[in-house]
Structure 1
């Protein structure tokens, strides 16, 4: 007896017809190719690149991964892009200075955001609120 399978397009249709968000996004897993040194050398241009993607609406989320014991950062990160297609998302990832320099390599996966919540709290007065 073989394990059942499901075509991606069928899961997309299921999500769309069952009141799920069905927001198509692309997740990039970025990993050092030769230790942390080259990653640190490219950190500033990488952050500038990520900020541009954030400002133009491409970047949904991004950030680093801690080591398994949460004691180190080994140079790994993950980014989630809004893009028209996997090919378009790949072009975006290829333009990242971490990847163009060879400091990191990446893999990319299609992802569908279906469930969860998002809240915004806006403070009109200056500065960050103090947590008491």
Structure 2
């Protein structure tokens, strides 16, 4: 790496370029114990995640396939959260039963969403939806 920018500069550059400039936080979570330990905490973890979703804190979450064998899952996951600060995001990640139990550890990263998009199709009569 040949240099860095201050994070504030990244936010300012996004605003000046009329990009979205929405800051979120990425929680990359990895096994610290056995899969049995992870599975034991999974119901509490999922309830915690649903609570974050209901409160509008969690943007998205889910498991990550293994790097070396994309047909298997070794306990890694990713959570995208909305928080007012890095410290607030850390408190949220620390509160996850996966982390507080020691079944998983995590790395927390700031993320600035500048480009991209999504399509949501809602069927009124069917009550179905599709997210693309």
Asked if these proteins are the same fold (TM beyond 0.5), I'd say: yes
Pick the structure with greater CA Rg: 1
Partner of 1:98: 98
Aligned length: 128
CA RMSD of aligned residues (A): 1.6
Correspondence list, 1:33-112, <5 A = 33-68=32-67, 69-112=69-112
- Distance in 1, matches of 2:11 and 2:62, equals 27
Counterparts of 1:53 and 1:14, CA distance in 2: 30
Runs of 4+ off more than 2 Å: 2-5, 125-129
Given that 2:66 and 2:74 are in contact with CA atoms closer than 8 Å, whether structure 1 keeps it comes out as yes
Larger strand share, 1 or 2: 2
Contact 1:35–1:74 (Cα < 8 Å) also in 2? no
Cα distance per residue 1:27-82 (max 9 Å; x no partner): 00111101211111111110110011001100011110111222211110000100
Gaps of 5+ in 1: none
Please report the TM-score for the alignment, with normalisation by the length of structure 2: 0.91
